[in-house]
Amino acid sequence: MIITIDGPAGSGKSTAARKLAARLGIPYLDTGAMYRVITLAALEAGVDLESEDMLTRIANEANYELDLGPTHIRVSLGARDVTEAIRTMRVNNHTRFIAASPGVRRALVEKQRQLGRQLGSLVTEGRDQGSVAFPNADIKFYLDATVERRAERRLHDFLADGEEVTFEEVLANVDVRDRTDSSRIVGPLTVPAGAVHIDTTPMTIAEVIETLLAHLRQAGLWQPNGAASK
Ligand code: C5P
């Protein structure tokens, strides 16, 4: 069973995907982590972030690994664990160059499909999972919330990680990423055809999970007393 969850930064999709996968006992894939690790590799290599050739090369050749489980994702680059290093504001401010590269997107979408085939069942989240990577997913969700609510959630994550940022900085970053994510030519952020659209602005994460499960149940993909039925 493939479940896709797309949406903008701070819409709650990462937490929702992780918790939903844990509830179903299947792995989850945070595709933002893939764009982030390529961003980190490109920054560390000091390459021109507008060079399509260099970025494509890094996406194809960087030695990174994702360790996926129902409750965790760990990311390594070479011998280093970079799970935390890919979440810094520096990486945030540069992902848009990497996300706009057609060669990078091709390489990462191919890897996402490979993981889907290999794992069989997956909750995968990002910007293009229901539209490009898995258009035939069993069920697709699109989560959204107001930009202020999304920036508040991201600020909370940064402060919890000990990063010193202001609400205004986070709001500006979320706003720029929204615009570049929605306007890029390849794999833009969009509501995938057939997706269930959920506004999470007034919801707690527990309410989001209950809503997702209700849709899975309605689609015959899940029973309250059991695990995933596919
Ligand atoms: O979801 P997250 O904020 O971790 O994603 C980091 C960046 O990676 C986003 O700003 C977006 O530009 C990019 N991304 C993407 N396609 C995906 C997932 C993330 O372009 N499927």
For residue 128 and ligand 1, the question of a CB distance below 6 A is answered with yes
CATH of the domain at 101: 3.40.50.300
- Report the pLDDT averaged over residues 98-104: 96
Count CB neighbours of 156 within 10 A. Answer: 12
Residue recorded with tokens 């994460």: 205
CA of 17 to the centre of ligand 1 (A): 14
pLDDT at 27: 92
Report the C-alpha gap between 9 and 99 in whole angstroms.
13
Residue of minimum CA distance from atom 6 in ligand 1: 32
pLDDT, tens only, 37-89: 999 999 999 999 999 999 999 999 999 999 987 778 899 999 999 999 999 98
| Domain residue limits at 145 | 2-216
CA of 14 to the centre of ligand 1 (A): 11
Residue pair 30/73 in contact (Cβ under 8 Å)? The answer is yes
39, part of any domain: yes
pLDDT, tens only, 165-215: 999 999 999 999 899 889 989 989 999 999 999 999 999 999 999 999 999
228, part of any domain: no
pLDDT, tens only, 128-175: 999 999 999 999 999 999 999 999 999 998 899 888 899 999 999 999
For residue 36 and ligand 1, the question of a CB distance below 6 A is answered with yes
Residue recorded with tokens 């999970």: 209
Report the C-alpha gap between 65 and 75 in whole angstroms.
6
CA of 131 to the centre of ligand 1 (A): 14
Report the C-alpha gap between 189 and 8 in whole angstroms.
7
Report the C-alpha gap between 46 and 143 in whole angstroms.
35
